[in-house]
Amino acid sequence: MLTIRKETDYALQMLKVLSKSKDKVLSLNEIAKKTRVSFLFLQKIARKLRIAKIIKAHQGVAGGYQLAIDPKKLSLTKIVESMEGKCCVLKCLNDSKKNSCCEFAKTCELKNKMSKLNKQIVTILDKVKLTDI
C-alpha cells in the first residue's frame, strides 16, 4: 500500500495552518497548539519545508514561519517530495545508477510498467494543491 508518512501528514497540517493565517507570521508554539503536534517534531518538519523553500523563517521576538509559495500553486508532489524524497512506487525507480537496484534490473518488465504508473501518480499529485486539501 502507498502511504504518506506521519511526518508528511503533520507537514500538511502545519501548512494548512500557515495558509489560513494569510501573511501573518506564526511561531512554532502557535502552530503546535493549533495542530496538537509536538514542538520538537514541528522543528524537524519546519527545517525540511524551509530547505525546500516552501516556508520562510523570520528571526527575532516576533519571528516565526509563513508560506513562501501561494497555497493555490503549492502541489502535493512538492510537499511530499520535500518530506519523503522523490515519489517512487519502486525503490529502483529512484535509483540514480540504472540497473543497480537488483540482479533482475536489466530484464525487469515490472520496472517499465511501474514507471508508467509512477508517472501517473505524480501527475495526479501535481494537480492537487494545498488549497484542495
Cα within 13 Å of Cα(102), Cβ side: 12
Is the CATH number of domain 6-132 1.10.10.10? Answer: yes
For residue 109, give the C-alpha cell.
Answer: 518488465
The pLDDT score that the predictor gives to residue 24 is 92
**Distance from C-alpha of 73 to C-alpha of 14, rounded to nearest angstrom:** 17
**Distance from C-alpha of 2 to C-alpha of 52, rounded to nearest angstrom:** 23
The pLDDT score that the predictor gives to residue 1 is 55
> Which of the two residues, 86 and 98, has the higher pLDDT score?
86
For residue 25, CA distances in Å to 69, 96, 98, 105 come to: 14, 38, 44, 48
**Distance from C-alpha of 84 to C-alpha of 46, rounded to nearest angstrom:** 14
Domain residue extents for the chain: 6-132
Could you tell me how many helices (H) and strands (E) the chain has, helices first? Answer: 5, 2
The pLDDT score that the predictor gives to residue 69 is 95
